[in-house]
Structure formats: structure tokens, C-alpha cells
Structure 1
């Protein structure tokens, strides 16, 4: 397993400085935010793309993921992360999310990143049944998954509390109906904890479909608010053991977007807890102290 940090905590810094800080703290990789101010695909010219690649090389970093979930550039009055969503009743609004996702897949391929992550369908609209929303989401995903396949990258769905797909199990229905090898799961450990999922069980169960992990801590209340790992209630030694037992050797990205006031301190705190767990031997099966 390799540790990365998401640039969505560094929204107050240009990409070059964000990359420099993340590397100097000790991370091997970073998750690029496909949004302002770092890499909004709709307005990203060749020069800025080249500068991103050069900064990654200069600081010895690799891309763990391209985060296409957030859309702060649109500044939707309803909420800047979830809207416009994949299941908007209004086709015009829906197309904004679809077009952004297609551009993010293109950017992912161009930069040599492995995949993008995106929202799990957005909030269900008033008057919209869950089944209608699922059907619409599946139909939207099919051409996007085909586009990902053509580009040689993956399209990862991230279940989130309050949205159409809230749990990792709910992802299965959509994945089976889309039936595309380019579609995968971004397993967000904090989100699963919010939904009272049994983390070791679900990590093992969803392992064949999981292509990337997001980690953050969550308070014992299970309220969806990202905390620095080690400051909440999640059993990270148990989580890392569960991931290791699946044979996963990819990226684990720390996502701490609420910490824009001091992302360096949050990044250091997370690395201090996680690096010994990721690099150390498994503790599975050992007696409790």
C-alpha cells in the first residue's frame, strides 16, 4: 500500500505549492482535484497541464487518483460538491455533470493517472423515486464507462451518506447493471463508518471491485465530518489489516478537505498515524494487549 494526500485540502494554494508541501511532508503521491484552483478540466490548457506534470516529476510524486467529485467551479447555489448531479431531473443540469466527468476522464488519461472518482448519483430530487434515480444513474454511467475504457482509465464511484448510493453494498446493484470492467469502487472508509458498516467485513466483501481507498476519521457519533486519522473513532490498525489481507497494494488517499486553514498540520498528523500501519507487519490474529 502507498499513501497519498488529496489536494482538496489545499484549495488556498496553487498546485505547484500544494505538490511541494505534500511531498515535503512525506507522501509518495497525491490526488489531483479536477476543480478550481488546481485542474478544472474545462479550462485547462496545455501549458498548465505541462506544469502539473513537471511539478509531479520535480517533487517525486505520483498520481493516486483524479478527484472529479467536487465542482466548486460551477458554484451551484444548492451545494458546491454534489450539484449538478448525475440524476438531475433537468437534462441541462445533468449534462453539466456528465460533460465534466468525461473531461476529467480525458485529463486522467493525459496525465497518466489510473482513475477518477466521482459522486454516487447525487441527492434524490423531490418527487423522484429511488428506482427512477437508480435507472437514470445506470443509463448515465454506461456511456461514461465506455469512454473510460477507450481512454484506458477507470471510473470509480464513491458511496456517500445522504446521496443515492450511501453504502458499499448499494454500489453492487449499479455495478452489476452497468456491467463494465472500467467501472470500479472507491471505498471511502469514513463514509462506510458513518453508515455503520462493518469495515473489515465490507473491505473483504468489496475487495474484487475496490480500486482505490479514501481514508479520514469520523467521530463516534458517525456524523459525516472528516477528521484527521487518529482523532476520531475508526480503528485504523484494524482497517489497514483488513485491506492488507485482501492483497491490495494500491493507493490509500487521505482526504481532509475541511482542513483548508492548516492542511500541512492535518497531512502530518494523518501520515504519523498511517505510515507505521501501512509499512509495518500485519497485526491480524494477535491477542489484544
Structure 2
């Protein structure tokens, strides 16, 4: 199976945080970021946010830059978080006018995705949630989410809609905060072209075992897209792949091969103080190294060991291949 690696173009921008809003380095135009991404061996795709990175005004320019740098658009993220009007929600906002704007934005994002050849959009509902008890009507909010996503996914069947879950931030509680709830949501929408994005850091932050979350979604045919990074579970740090949870990454890549995931292996990293090219290069090298390790271990052999249920024997077998 050919593995396709991608990266979010935000990694090559200024990378600001709430303590240094202007970023830890100078920001760059999207064409410059695409050129930088193209310098990374093995990277053939990029994620772009609409309308943050790609806009109606620069769409032609971005399309030309992708071709010039021999890059594919892997997915188009629809930005439902970065404007003040979304502060009380987007697809689940109590204001029907805001919900309408959010739906139209996603539909326009689908058109952009089709134009750039990505044929899928990512929807992360960062502002759809709550901060206090008695702040929202949970049942109405859920119904609005289902109705909005059904309208979006039904807009065009040739573009997939990928819903990304996260437990918190920017709201203290996100409505779609784990894999099981994301699966329930897309099943209620009930259309073939809607599924789930797993972000490793979000899954870790949610207290999940990422491999188990993957297996659940893949078992229902709803594992659509994957973001790779790492963190210490307490926050969405977006660190270099495998820098913290190496053993869990080995299990995750075993399961990715086992379920036959054939989508993009996309990096969602935020290298605030590190060189973004080096972080992406090392992340890809780590993923390739773990994939090679899994191949050396052998899927059938790992299946056999798991079936025996002896965790120590299994971990010992793995350890002998990485720490002889």
C-alpha cells in the first residue's frame, strides 16, 4: 500500500499563540508556504483552510502554486472558528442566521475542494460547545448539528465531509468530543459521504487509546481522514509525531495497516519554536520507521500474539525488535 503524506500549511506560517499573537517567526504568504512544504522528501500533499489559507480571491493563485510545486490538496478545512461571528457556535448556533452562514461556508468549501482536487473537506466544530452549566439546550444543539451536516453532505455527493472531534478548546466543552460521539453524529446524518477525522492529539487529549478509536470508526466504515502529531494528553500540543507516545504509535500503525486505511497520513503540527521543515521531515521519517517496524514484526505474528492475550509476551516481542 502506497502511503501518502500531507501537512497542514499552517505549520509553515508564523505559529502564534495567545501569549505571542503575532507568532514566533514572520508569517508567510500561502505560495511561500507551499514552496517550503514541497522541499520535504516524501510529502506530496497539503491541507489548506478555507477561507484562511485559500480564499475566493486567491483560488487561482493557490491552484497554480500547487501545480508549480507538484503538490496535491489533500483536504480543505472549513474555518468555523476564526471569526468573531462564530463565538457562540456555527453549525449548532442558536441563531438560525449564523447556522445558515456556517452551512453555506461549508458548501463553498466543498466547491473549493472539488476545484483543487481534494474532494473532501474537514469540519472541526471548535466553537460548537459550551463553557457553563445552563448555557445551551443540548438536545436542540444536537438536532441543529445533524440537520446542518445533512444539508452540507447532501450538497454534493462527490465530496466527502470529515468531522473532526476534540474535547475542548476554544470552548471548555465541545459537543463532539470523542470518537464514539462523532460516530453517532455521522450515523444520524446517515449519508455515505460523511465520516470522521481522527486527530491523534485530540484523541489523546480525550483520554482515548487512538488505535481503539480507529478500530471503532473503521468497523463502521467511517474512518475518513487522519491527523498525526503528539502531546502529553493534558493539552493539544501538536508536537512532533512519536515524540511522546511511541508504543501507542506502534499499535496505531499496526491497526492502520490491519483495517486497510488508504487515506492521507497528514501532519497537523504546530512548531512554534522549531524549524517547521525539520519537524515535518522528522515526523514523516518516524511514521515511515514505525511502518517498517510493523512490517518486520509482521501483521500475522502480531495477530497471533494478541489472540493469546499475553501482553507481556507481545511487548517483549516488540521490544526485542527495537531494543535488542
Tell me the TM-score normalized by structure 1: 0.86
Q: Distance in 2 between matches of 1:70 and 1:189?
A: 21
Please name the residue that 1:64 is paired with.
74
Q: Distance in 1 between matches of 2:71 and 2:47?
A: 10
Tell me if structure 1 keeps the 8 A contact 2:50–2:77. Answer: yes
- Unaligned runs of 5+ residues in structure 2 are 14-26, 169-173, 303-313, 320-324
Residue aligned with 1:229, SS = coil
Residue aligned with 1:196, SS = coil
Please name the residue that 2:90 is paired with.
85
Q: With CA pairs under 8 Å and 6+ residues apart, which has the higher RCO, 1 or 2? A: 1
Q: Distance in 2 between matches of 1:199 and 1:191?
A: 9
Of the three residues 185, 188, 193, the one matched with 1:177 is 188
Deviation digits for residues 84-112 of structure 1, max 9, x if unmatched? 42111122333332221111111111111
Q: Compared with structure 1, are the counterparts of its residues 250 and 164 closer, same or farther at alpha carbon in structure 2 (3 Å cutoff)? A: same
Please name the residue that 1:21 is paired with.
36
Q: Compared with structure 1, are the counterparts of its residues 259 and 96 closer, same or farther at alpha carbon in structure 2 (3 Å cutoff)? A: farther
Q: Aligned pairs, how many?
A: 275
Q: Compared with structure 1, are the counterparts of its residues 117 and 28 closer, same or farther at alpha carbon in structure 2 (3 Å cutoff)? A: same
Q: Distance in 2 between matches of 1:252 and 1:103?
A: 25
Q: Distance in 1 between matches of 2:160 and 2:288?
A: 26
Q: Distance in 2 between matches of 1:179 and 1:67?
A: 21
Between Structure 1 and Structure 2, whose CA radius of gyration is higher?
Answer: 2
Please name the residue that 1:236 is paired with.
249
Verify: 1:35 aligned to 2:51, yes or no: yes
Residue aligned with 2:39, SS = helix
Aligned-residue Cα RMSD (Å) equals 2.3
Please name the residue that 1:288 is paired with.
318
Q: Distance in 2 between matches of 1:76 and 1:273?
A: 40
Shift of 1:68: 1.2
Shift of 1:10: 2.8
Q: Distance in 1 between matches of 2:271 and 2:80?
A: 13
Shift of 1:141: 1.1
Please name the residue that 1:2 is paired with.
4
Q: Distance in 1 between matches of 2:115 and 2:266?
A: 21
- Kindly report which structure 2 residues correspond to 1:56-205, keeping only aligned pairs within 5 A, or say none: 56-69=66-79, 71-72=81-82, 74-75=83-84, 78=87, 84-120=89-125, 122-124=128-130, 127-149=135-157, 152-162=158-168, 163-205=174-216
Q: Compared with structure 1, are the counterparts of its residues 251 and 265 closer, same or farther at alpha carbon in structure 2 (3 Å cutoff)? A: same
